[in-house]
């Protein structure tokens, strides 16, 4: 069975970067796929990768992660970009969506770049081996 857990931005808003990463990693290690409202900062993604590597074992093989932008800043007109910047400043980085899943379940996340395709592992087949 595949479990998706929605994590609203308010859940991580007041946490430090390290605490955010720990919170997300704990959920992923429970073999759940996270749908996070908003995005992590680039530095937080690096911390997430670092912490993931520290946790790798025979049963936990890492993560797949992919954020989905809503209207990339590069494609926007000047006033729209200004509006987006103001929105980010006031509300934090809560635009878009980030998918984070355990690599034992999520084989690949394909981005195109406005849609996400989640390819899952054949778990039954894997367990038989």
Partner 1 sequence: MINVFKRFLNRFFKDLFQEKGQVKLGLYGPPNGGKTTLANKICMDWLGEEMGRASKIAHETREVQIKEQITIKRDKKELTFSLVDTPGIATKIDYEEFIKAGMKSTEAKGRAKEATKGVIDAIKWLDDMDAVIVVLDGTKDPYTQVNITIIGNLEARKIPVLLVANKSDLKKFDLKHVQAAFPQYDVIGISAKLGNSLNELYEKLFELRKKALKRK
Question: 116: burial class by Cβ within 10 Å (0-12, 13-18, 19+)?
Answer: middle
Window 3 to 32, contacts with partner 1 (CB under 8 A): none
CA-nearest of 104, 31, 42, 92 to 67 is 42
Among 61, 85, 86, 117, binds partner 1 (CB under 8 A): 61
How far apart are CB 80 and partner 1 at their closest, in Å? Answer: 17
For residue 76, count other CB atoms closer than 10 A to its CB: 14
Token pair in block for residue 63: 């993560």
Binding to partner 1 by CB under 8 A, coded x per residue (else -) over 37-56, reads ----xxx-xx--xx-xxx-x
Report the interface residues with partner 1, using CB under 8 A.
41-43, 45-46, 49-50, 52-54, 56, 58, 61-67, 74, 103, 109-113
């Amino acid at each position: 069975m595949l479990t998706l857990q929605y994590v609203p931005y308010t859940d991580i808003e007041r946490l430090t970067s390290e605490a955010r990463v720990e919170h997300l990693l704990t959920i992923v290690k429970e073999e759940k796929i996270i749908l996070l409202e908003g995005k992590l900062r680039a530095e937080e993604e690096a911390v997430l990768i670092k912490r993931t590597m520290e946790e790798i074992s025979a049963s936990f093989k890492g993560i797949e992660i992919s954020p989905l932008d809503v209207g990339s800043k590069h494609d926007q007109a000047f006033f729209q970009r200004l509006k987006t910047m103001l929105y980010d400043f006031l509300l934090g980085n809560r635009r878009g969506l980030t998918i984070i899943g355990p690599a034992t379940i999520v084989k690949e996340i394909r981005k195109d770049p406005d849609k996400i395709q989640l390819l899952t592992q054949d778990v039954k087949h894997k367990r038989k081996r």
